[in-house]
Amino acid sequence: KTQLIDYSDIDNLKITEIGSTRYLHDGGWDASKRYFLVAANNSNKIAVIDTKEGKLEKLVSVGKVPHPGRGANFVDPQFGPVWATGHLGDETISLIGTDPEASGQRLEGGAHAQGPGRRLA
């Protein structure tokens, strides 16, 4: 599980528990600071946590042993805002779209992708 803790009122903490996955390790924010993306090393997944809605947006299957760190943000001219991270267990880089307004798109060689957590590569 993942816990979101709202510290805006230190005397009345708001704690939200979110079902996610095991082995989450470090992570980083997307450019908007809405989504927190964190690697689940042992399961080769990245959890996309929507901190505005207080829920797990998606568990994205990625390559072997996603890097447990900050990641990088950039804007792709075709797909919009993207969060990226490398992998410790293979030579891939995972690109995950973070635009909450994205409509479904068919990606070349990929599955139907939609909204935050859509895997671009």
**Domain boundary assignment for the chain:** 2-113
| Mean pLDDT by groups of 10 residues along the chain of 121 residues | 91 92 88 91 88 90 85 86 85 83 46 50 51
Closest CA relative to residue 96, chosen from 28, 1, 26 = 28
* Torsion angle defined by CA atoms of residues 59, 88, 38 and 102, in that order, rounded to the nearest 10 degrees: -60
pTM score, whole prediction: 0.80
φ, ψ for residue 42, nearest 5 deg: -75, -15
